[in-house]
Amino acid sequence: MSRFYTSLFSSPFPMFPAKNSGYYALLISLCLASCQSDTPAQNTAASTATTTPPKTAAPATSTAWYRQYRTRLPGATDSVTVHLQNLGTGSDASSIGRVVGFYAGPKGQPFELASNPTSAPDSLLLREASHSRLNAGGYGAVWRLRRMGEAWVGTLAGQTVRLQPLPVSQGVAFDTQVFRDSVRARPQHPQDSVWGRISLHALLPTSNRQPLAGNMLHLLHGDTVFAGSAPTLPAIWEDMRRPFFNDYQEDMKAIFQQMEADTSRSGHRPMAMLNYTDERDTYVLWNADNLLSLGLFTYSYAGGAHGNYGTHVLSFDTRSGRPLPYDAIFRPDAKPRLEALLARYARPSLGLKPNEPLRNALFEETLPVTRNVYLTSGGAVFVYQPYEVAAYAYGEVRVFVPLRELRPLLQPGLPLQEGRSVAQK
């Protein structure tokens, strides 16, 4: 089967222009914490002193979860559903790992949320992560929350907010599994503080949705053709883990030999740059009615100034489990009109004024149509990888185009609801 996946280093959440210095600093701190830690990851699949795979790859003991909450935003009349995921990246079972999520505006535009890991299991600090929600200094509004029973209570931008858990999930309910492992750069040198770390965060439906579950596994595996038997989660994990361990130790062997032979130390590398990371996460980007959109978020650090990252997105019709790539969403003649719409709606996503040239943010004055697109109940989000259309400092560029503009361009039979306000769902 063909594969789109190559090892990318996915940042904890989308990054934004360097001129938004406050938020950019937060993101850099997350990346540095992930790629430069001298503490080995919790070993849950195999000994860190060997590359021999375990007989059975088992998921980590983790606090990872996906949950839905209902809240009314300050000043709003309608309530919204907030989708949150704990990715299970905390340092121990009592901590909260990196949390990501989203809620939808009344027109179906998703607004992203993200947090740092925290050692306090009963508190959560979320930041608005969508570019249109950032202030001039690059900071998003802060949700300061404390757990009260099953709810989260606190403030949003200084005003009271309460996140009440939904008794029954909208859309698809998920179970979360997390696999993590680490390997020494040189097993025969236990004094070294240099490690390779790898992790896999996976979601699977809790109910018997076999076509959907199988296609989600194909996505997680990196398959571009969703046919035949889907791989199992342990098999996907081994397909990631085994080559990463082998390649990492081969790289380290060559690097240490070079450093030992370099008496002038001109080729010396900081030890922190030898801590490699490979991470793959499943993000819920939309989950309501019969529409599910997921992001396969990949992150890889292999030395250098920074890592590489990206998100491959895909929607599903949960009635049948059918994947909805670009060709299943848009008519064959849609591209010219999509280009015009993207040029129009890219500006708010990039922090540009309505008539400001796109070149002020992008490499070119036009924005090409990407096939990396997912649906929401109110439109479509086009996702561009770092360096694809703008400088690295802009990170992933995400452009939302509302459904009212897309209607004439859509294929028939898509799982989109007519005439319903997203905020009222």
The tens digit of pLDDT for each residue in 104-157 reads 988 889 999 998 777 677 899 999 988 778 777 778 899 999 999 999 999 998
Question: CA–CA separation, 83 vs 77, rounded Å?
Answer: 19
Tens digit of each residue's pLDDT (9 = 90 or more) over 60-101: 556 789 999 999 999 888 999 999 999 986 544 444 678 999
6-15, 96-105, 161-170, 297-306: the lowest-pLDDT one: 6-15
Partners of residue 146 on adjacent β-strands: 123, 153
- Give me the pLDDT at residue 27, please: 44
Residue range 25-42: average pLDDT?
44
* Residue reference for tokens 């492992």: 181
CA dihedral sign, ordered 399, 404, 409, 413? positive
**Strand intervals (E) in 78-157:** 79-86, 99-104, 110-114, 123-128, 142-148, 151-156
Nearest to 397 by CA among 354, 340, 348: 348
Question: CA–CA separation, 422 vs 108, rounded Å?
Answer: 6
* Residue reference for tokens 């990407």: 370
Residue range 396-416: average pLDDT?
96
CA 234 vs CA 83, 88, 219, 241, 396: distances in Å: 27, 18, 15, 10, 30
3-class DSSP state of 26: helix
Q: What percent of the chain shows pLDDT beyond 90? A: 54
Give the pLDDT band (50/70/90) at residue 53. very low
Select the more confidently predicted residue: 160 or 5: 160
Nearest to 44 by CA among 199, 201, 151: 199
Nearest to 349 by CA among 361, 336, 339, 337: 361
245-254, 282-291, 359-368: the lowest-pLDDT one: 359-368
Give the pLDDT band (50/70/90) at residue 20. very low
Select the more confidently predicted residue: 346 or 374: 374
- Give me the pLDDT at residue 422, please: 45
56-70, 226-240, 388-402: the lowest-pLDDT one: 56-70
Asked whether the predicted pLDDT for residue 357 surpasses 60, the reply is yes
Partners of residue 81 on adjacent β-strands: 70
Give the pLDDT band (50/70/90) at residue 239. very high
Tokens of 228: 């035949």
- Give me the pLDDT at residue 50, please: 37
Tokens of 57: 């790859």
Give the pLDDT band (50/70/90) at residue 207. confident
Tokens of 315: 């929607």
Q: Which residue type occupies 120?
A: A
Residue range 188-202: average pLDDT?
91
Q: What percent of the chain shows pLDDT beyond 70? A: 80
The DSSP annotation for 221-273 comes to: HTBSS--SPPPPHHHHHHHHHHHHHHHHHHHHHHHHHHHHH-TT-TT---GGG
- Give me the pLDDT at residue 351, please: 80
Residue range 379-408: average pLDDT?
92
Question: CA–CA separation, 64 vs 291, rounded Å?
Answer: 23
- Give me the pLDDT at residue 126, please: 93
The count of other CB atoms within 10 Å of the CB of residue 361 is 21
Question: CA–CA separation, 407 vs 390, rounded Å?
Answer: 28
- Using an 8 Å Cβ cutoff, are 54 and 45 in contact? yes
Question: CA–CA separation, 394 vs 385, rounded Å?
Answer: 10
3-class DSSP state of 400: strand
Select the more confidently predicted residue: 419 or 154: 154
- Give me the pLDDT at residue 213, please: 96
CA atoms within 13 A on the CB side of 192: 21
CA atoms within 13 A on the CB side of 280: 24
- Give me the pLDDT at residue 392, please: 85
Mean pLDDT, the chain, whole residue set? 82
- Using an 8 Å Cβ cutoff, are 372 and 398 in contact? no
Domains and CATH numbers, the chain: 21-60+173-324 (3.30.565.40)
Nearest to 250 by CA among 185, 343, 313: 185
- Give me the pLDDT at residue 33, please: 43
Question: CA–CA separation, 197 vs 194, rounded Å?
Answer: 10
